[in-house]
Amino acid sequence: MNKKEITVTKPFMPTLSEYLEYVEKIWNNSWVTNKGPLFKEFHLLLHDYLKADNLCLTVNGHSALDIAIKSLGLSGEVITTPFTFASTTHALTMNQITPVFCDIKESDLTIDESKIEELITDKTTAIMPVHVYGHSCNTEEIERIAKKHHLKVIYDAAHSFGVQRDGQSIALCGDVSIFSFHATKIFHTIEGGCAIYRDKNLEPLFNAFRNFGIYSEEEINYIGGNAKMNEFQAAMGIVNLKYMDEIIQKRKKLTLYYRKKLNLIEGIQYFVPEKLSTYSYNYAYFPILVDENKLKISRDDLYEELKKFNVYTRKYFYPLVTDFGCYKEQYKDVSLPVAKKISQQILCLPLYYDLSYEDIDYIYESILEIKKVVE
């Protein structure tokens, strides 16, 4: 084995000269953070790209979730998914809210909307679903349930940048949707994030919670942290946004190639989200499910064996949130059979802009080699 390392992800890098052009602007006016000119420019560009009237740029995606929860004034219980990154759940518990976990669907791994209503109590204030891997939740049905029970909806759309329907971003769903612009996400600003909110009247709250609760020069009306996006992040956003269509197209080609290859291996299942939803798909991840009985290798063994071929995959998401050390005592009795099963089978294969067809060939051949040994 003399193949170079294939990591599970790799940030998209624009050309250095493009980025430096903007860094030079920062140097010329010595404005590095606090609503600088590049922040404003990026805000406008995103406004147009998403066709979103109200948006709040933040230092990262987690802060966007935190600010959304605070701005909507949520409390009590929030119904959410256990099949997500720690950030979703922590954002609730750090705001003294009890997450109530709803199971997911096998078809697309998003929250099972048919099981939401039975979890609603008189303490429920909101639903917080996740468009996991860029797979779109059933937003119509979630909207109907929320309306009927007077609940707010915050979508964790961290994986969903670029997902649209009829030219409209999926971020326009719900009371708030948040994106993460972390380096590992499909679109990035190094670190960064954004909240898109429906009610224009929330603007002063979002702005205040982003900046220590400062309402005006002499009024601090809220208890908030610091979640401001700086000029270097905004510069990366401005430059990377130009590549968005190209990034999605390239990932689509790689995904179709993966599917063609993996079709030939019994025991590996992949998802075809573009067939399951009326929203487009952004090809943000390439998750597979390993059927141990058919493949004759467990997910964990495949993960370990692939490392020997210099192929680094990720058990994303394993363990389930309810099995984290910090939550397992509280949630030891909850029943989430689908999420449990999926978290044992899931594996995300490498997918990023710079991945090549040859890399996918190599990953495919490596899986065949691993299979050969056990046969």
Q: Which of 177, 180, 280, 322 binds ligand PLP (CB under 6 A)?
A: 180
Q: Provide, rounded to whole angstroms, the least separation between the CB of residue 122 and ligand PLP.
A: 28
**78-97 burial code (b ≥16 CB/10 A, e <16):** bbbbbbbbebbbbbbeeeeb
Q: Which of 81, 87, 160, 255 binds ligand PLP (CB under 6 A)?
A: 87
- Nearest-5° angle of CA 11, CA 16, CA 19? 90
Nearest CB to ligand PLP, comparing residues 152 and 182 = 182
Q: Which residues contact 55 (CB under 8 A, 6 or more apart)?
A: 43, 46, 47, 194, 195, 196, 197
Tell me: does residue 130 bind ligand PLP (CB under 6 A).
yes
Count of residues that bind ligand PLP according to CB under 6 A: 14
Nearest CB to ligand PLP, comparing residues 36 and 61 = 61
> The tokens of 30 are what?
């010595």
Q: Which of 6, 57, 61, 258 binds ligand PLP (CB under 6 A)?
A: 61
Q: Which residues contact 81 (CB under 8 A, 6 or more apart)?
A: 88, 101, 102, 104, 110, 111, 128, 129, 130, 132, 339
Q: Mapping DSSP to helix (H, G, I), strand (E, B) and coil, where does residue 365 land?
A: helix
Tell me: does residue 314 bind ligand PLP (CB under 6 A).
no
Distance between CA atoms of residues 222 and 96, nearest Å: 16
Instruction: Work out whether the CA dihedral 98, 100, 106, 112 comes out positive or negative.
Output: negative
Q: Give the interface segment with ligand PLP, choosing from 152-160, 220-228, 260-268, 365-373 (CB under 6 A).
A: 152-160
> The tokens of 22 are what?
């903007």
Tell me: does residue 88 bind ligand PLP (CB under 6 A).
yes
Tell me: does residue 110 bind ligand PLP (CB under 6 A).
no
Tell me: does residue 22 bind ligand PLP (CB under 6 A).
no
Question: Within 10 Å of residue 264's Cβ, how many Cβ atoms?
Answer: 10
Q: Mapping DSSP to helix (H, G, I), strand (E, B) and coil, where does residue 196 land?
A: strand
Instruction: Work out whether the CA dihedral 117, 107, 347, 268 comes out positive or negative.
Output: positive
Nearest CB to ligand PLP, comparing residues 84 and 277 = 84
Nearest CB to ligand PLP, comparing residues 313 and 366 = 313
Residues 224-253 that bind ligand PLP (CB under 6 A): none
Q: Which of 36, 42, 50, 62 binds ligand PLP (CB under 6 A)?
A: 62
Q: Which of 193, 224, 267, 350 binds ligand PLP (CB under 6 A)?
A: 193
Distance between CA atoms of residues 316 and 262, nearest Å: 19
Residue 289 parent element (H or E): strand 286-290
Q: Which of 85, 133, 206, 286 binds ligand PLP (CB under 6 A)?
A: 85
DSSP letter (8 states) at residue 135? P
Q: Provide, rounded to whole angstroms, the least separation between the CB of residue 69 and ligand PLP.
A: 13
Q: Which of 42, 50, 55, 60 binds ligand PLP (CB under 6 A)?
A: 60
Q: Provide, rounded to whole angstroms, the least separation between the CB of residue 362 and ligand PLP.
A: 27
Tell me: does residue 129 bind ligand PLP (CB under 6 A).
no
Q: Provide, rounded to whole angstroms, the least separation between the CB of residue 88 and ligand PLP.
A: 5
Tell me: does residue 340 bind ligand PLP (CB under 6 A).
no
DSSP letter (8 states) at residue 193? E
Tell me: does residue 156 bind ligand PLP (CB under 6 A).
yes
Q: Give the interface segment with ligand PLP, choosing from 84-92, 102-110, 161-169, 217-225 (CB under 6 A).
A: 84-92
Nearest CB to ligand PLP, comparing residues 156 and 359 = 156
Q: Could you give the residue ranges of the DSSP H alpha helices within the chain?
A: 16-29, 37-50, 61-72, 86-93, 139-149, 203-210, 231-241, 244-262, 292-295, 299-308, 337-345, 357-374
Q: Is 102 in contact with 120 (CB distance < 8 Å)?
A: no
Q: Which of 80, 84, 177, 189 binds ligand PLP (CB under 6 A)?
A: 84
Distance between CA atoms of residues 306 and 368, nearest Å: 11
Tell me: does residue 158 bind ligand PLP (CB under 6 A).
yes
Interface positions with ligand PLP (CB under 6 A): 60-62, 84-85, 87-88, 130, 156, 158-159, 180, 182, 193
